[in-house]
Amino acid sequence: MFRTASRSFAASAWRRAESPSQLEAAYQTGINISKAQGVGQRGFLDAIGKTPLIRLKRLSEETGCNVLGKAEFQNPGGSVKDRAALYVVENAERLGLLKPGGTVIEGTAGNTGIGLAHVCRSKGYKLVIYMPNTQSQGKIDLLRLLGAEVYPVPAVAFDNEMNYNHQAKRHAESLENAVWTNQFDNVANRQAHIETTGPEIWYQTGGKVDAFTCATGTGGSLAGVTRYLKEKSDGRVKSFLADPPGSVLHSYIQSGGKLAERAGGSITEGIGQGRVTDNLKPDIDLLDGSLHISDEKTIEMVYRCLDEEGLYLGASSCLNVVAAKEVAEKMGKGSTVVTLLCDGAYRYADRLFSRKWLEEKKLLGSIPQHLTNIMPQMNRLTPRDRLPNGADHKIRGVRPRLRRVNHDAAEVNTAFFPDLAPHGFFDRLGGFEEAGQRAVPVRREALGAAEQDALAVC
């Protein structure tokens, strides 16, 4: 008998009026849960969770299984981390650690910061983020746009007192009415997935799920979903860790609990770990195994998902998809395997679809031969390949007037040429696709007559 998880979090992401039993009834009657909810009264907060399951058609056909991806990129903040962000904040409220006008502080290099920024802005809290200074300027600018105070600090190991997580903790301790949410070891993170993601998967599949797999960073998603599915199925559902290069968890599981030194790295962000976090620790023994997924396989799947499924996914999502395919092959035909599609590729496009970046990482050859037209040729397109008919002869004078500046992809300034932006003009100026280098036009008033003509036809 499934033992209902402790409901100790007030006003949690899994709203009290929406218990698993009510959700089960909704699925049994064929009601779409998102429609059955009606209007969310808490705005952004009520939009978190209840993401759809997507059947990955080509991989399902290849394996003879149902390979399903949970579309976490449809959370309002764009990633699976919205769930944990809401839970850690509302847990702090319940414990009296955070009162109106308070400050939330976290050390994060990825989507947790973005999720927290949305949640804090929605609730009226201040947010302070510490992150390694290796992160892109675009990510920093996005967090600041969402209202966060951001401190990029030198990237050092976790055991160094100047690690960004430790600096975040000290900052919180120096303030009144402030909380360090501690995403790695705050088990409210894990609880979010016990109470929301796990039940959603169970009822969306009608309980017909045979295996679950995903990578882990904080450990919350893997541990929480594993705990729920194991208890709900009396141990029938299998669970597997997917691990990128540079992480120690695959070797930890395969060796029976020996923690190796962390070495190397991966192109993926937000996943992989050098220790067993408090979120993962209670449930790591429930895992049925682990898989090591190479960057080469991940990049191949980025392009396959875009081409075959129409899904524009980030690297961590595609690592999970590779793992789901391999687990499906292990489980045998007819099995149903679920994974998480953590986020989209929008924040990583200047790398995942950049010829120069892929060549630097020695991953260009990982793109399937029949898909090489998706990225390399796009980088070589000329303006006339993207402009309306008749515009090509008038655009010749524009490109020489462009100047190169250091900018992230998210910062490309199209304000001066709004009419060209819909035609992808700024995205397709060959030779400017490298990470950190973008074409930015001079002001409209500085253009010559021929250049003004080029704009007029758009």
Whole-angstrom distance, CA of residue 218 vs CA of residue 279: 7
pLDDT at 375: 59
**Burial annotation 202-238 (CB, 10 A radius, 16+ → b, else e):** bbbbeeebbbbbbbbbbbbbbbbbbbbbbbbeeeebb
**Domain 20-76+190-349 identical in fold to domain 81-180:** yes
Say if residue 288's pLDDT is above 60: yes
Average pLDDT over residues 30-43: 53
Residue pair 458/386 in contact (Cβ under 8 Å)? The answer is no
| 275-285: pLDDT as tens digits | 999 999 999 99
Please tell us whether the domain made up of 20-76+190-349 is placed in CATH 3.40.50.1100. Answer: yes
Average pLDDT over residues 72-97: 97
Q: Where are the domains of the chain?
A: 20-76+190-349, 81-180, 374-456
Indicate the CATH number for domain 81-180: 3.40.50.1100
> With pLDDT > 90 as the criterion, what percentage of the chain qualifies?
59
Q: Is 232 among the residues known to form the active site?
A: no
What residues contact 124, with CB distance under 8 A and at least 6 apart?
100, 101
pLDDT at 40: 67
**Catalytic pick among 35, 50, 70, 81:** 81
CA angle 190, 195, 196 (to 5 degrees): 100
Task: Report how far apart, in Å, the C-alpha atoms of 182 and of each of 17, 186, 212, 237 are.
Answer: 28, 6, 26, 30
DSSP state letter for 4: P
Say if residue 458's pLDDT is above 70: no
Map tokens 């990578």 to a residue. 215
- H helix runs in 10-156, sequence order: 20-28, 33-36, 57-63, 81-94, 111-123, 137-145
pLDDT at 270: 84
Pick the closest to residue 107 from 174, 176, 44, 162 (CA basis).
Answer: 162
pTM, entire model: 0.75
Whole-angstrom distance, CA of residue 105 vs CA of residue 286: 32
| 109-121: pLDDT as tens digits | 789 999 999 999 9
Residue 421 three-state SS? helix
Say if residue 107's pLDDT is above 50: yes
Pick the closest to residue 193 from 159, 156, 164, 231 (CA basis).
Answer: 231
| 187-222: pLDDT as tens digits | 999 999 999 999 999 999 999 999 999 999 999 999
| 346-404: pLDDT as tens digits | 988 888 999 899 999 999 999 988 887 775 444 553 443 444 444 444 434 444 343 43
pLDDT at 16: 33
Mean pLDDT of the chain: 80
Please count the other Cβ atoms lying within 10 Å of the Cβ belonging to residue 257: 10
| 1-28: pLDDT as tens digits | 333 333 333 333 333 334 445 545 444 4
> With pLDDT > 70 as the criterion, what percentage of the chain qualifies?
73
pLDDT band at 30, cuts 50/70/90? very low
Residue 113 backbone class (left: φ over 0; alpha: ψ -120 to 50; beta: rest): alpha
Average pLDDT over residues 98-126: 95
User: What are the tokens at 251?
Assistant: 């070797």
- What is the Cα 181 distance to its own chain's centre? 19
Mean pLDDT is lowest, of 14-18, 34-38, 46-50, 330-334, for 14-18
| 441-452: pLDDT as tens digits | 434 344 444 444
